[in-house]
């Protein structure tokens, strides 16, 4: 490998590492602020509209999962798991991310994150951009809701 190619490869490696680090770190949300916060994940798969809502209020964290507006599961969430979930969602909705072009999207999603009075949102499509990150977040949300006894 000649020196020029090495330099390009090194620069590319540094660039991609910094991107993945910023994506995994996101914005640190202080524990105190989480006491008044909410998460809303709305998405379409096939013919169904699905929605996961989690809300932290008065020292209690409640989660609800709906399919086509029908409540499927409701329960309290573990605070540690909720904090992790909010952290992951914050990396998805950070302002520098551009919404995906979903003109032909059959599997759109919307994400809302409210911390105190500050609300951030993102609209996207599963088959482009952040679809995979979104899918893992919804799986984690389900795990959180079903794992609390």
Partner 1 sequence: MGVTLRSKLLILSTLGIIGVAVFSFIAVKAFKATTKNSNKAKTIAIKLVEKPQADPKPTIDVCHNAYTVFCSKKGIARDPTGVVKKDLLGELQALRTYEEIIHETPGLSADEVDEELVKRIYTPERTRRIRSAYEWARFSIQKIINAQHGDILSKTEKRTLKKVLETTPLELPPPASVYADEPDLLTKNDVFYERFENGTRRLRVGGAYLLTVKSWFNMVFTLAHELAHTIDPCELKAQNIEVKAYKSLAECFIETDLTAKPDPEKECQENDHLSEAFADWMAVQVAAVTLKKYSTEFDRAQLMNAAINTVRDLCEEEEILEFDTVSHPSSKVRIQNIFAENPVVRTVLGCSIKNSENRYCSFDWKGKN
Which stretches of the chain bind partner 1, using CB under 8 A? 42, 44-49, 67-68, 70, 72-73, 103-108, 110, 126-128, 131-132, 135-136, 138-140, 142-143, 146-147, 149
Comparison of 22 and 101: residue with beta carbon closer to partner 1:
101
Comparison of 7 and 49: residue with beta carbon closer to partner 1:
49
Which of 20-26's residues contact partners 24+ apart within 8 Å by CB, and which partners?
A: 23/91, 24/91, 25/91, 26/87, 26/88, 26/90, 26/91, 26/94
Determine the Cα–Cα distance for residues 123 and 98; give it in Å rounded to an integer. 9
Comparison of 33 and 76: residue with beta carbon closer to partner 1:
76
Burial class (CB within 10 angstroms; exposed 0-12, middle 13-18, buried 19+) of 41: buried
Shortest Cβ 83–partner 1 spacing (Å): 16
């Amino acid at each position: 490998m000649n020196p020029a190619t090495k330099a390009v490869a090194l620069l590319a490696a540094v660039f991609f590492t910094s991107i993945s680090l910023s994506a995994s770190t996101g914005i640190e949300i202080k524990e105190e602020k989480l006491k008044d916060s909410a998460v809303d994940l709305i998405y379409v798969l096939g013919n169904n509209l699905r929605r996961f809502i989690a809300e932290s209020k008065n020292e209690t964290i409640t989660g609800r999962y709906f399919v086509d507006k029908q409540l499927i599961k409701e329960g309290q969430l573990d605070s540690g798991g909720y904090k992790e979930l909010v952290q992951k969602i914050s990396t998805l909705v950070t302002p520098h991310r551009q919404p995906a072009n979903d003109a032909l999207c059959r599997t759109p999603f919307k994400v809302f994150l409210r911390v105190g009075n500050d609300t951030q949102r993102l609209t996207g499509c599963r088959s482009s951009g952040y679809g995979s990150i979104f899918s893992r977040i919804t799986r984690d949300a389900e795990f959180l809701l079903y794992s609390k006894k």
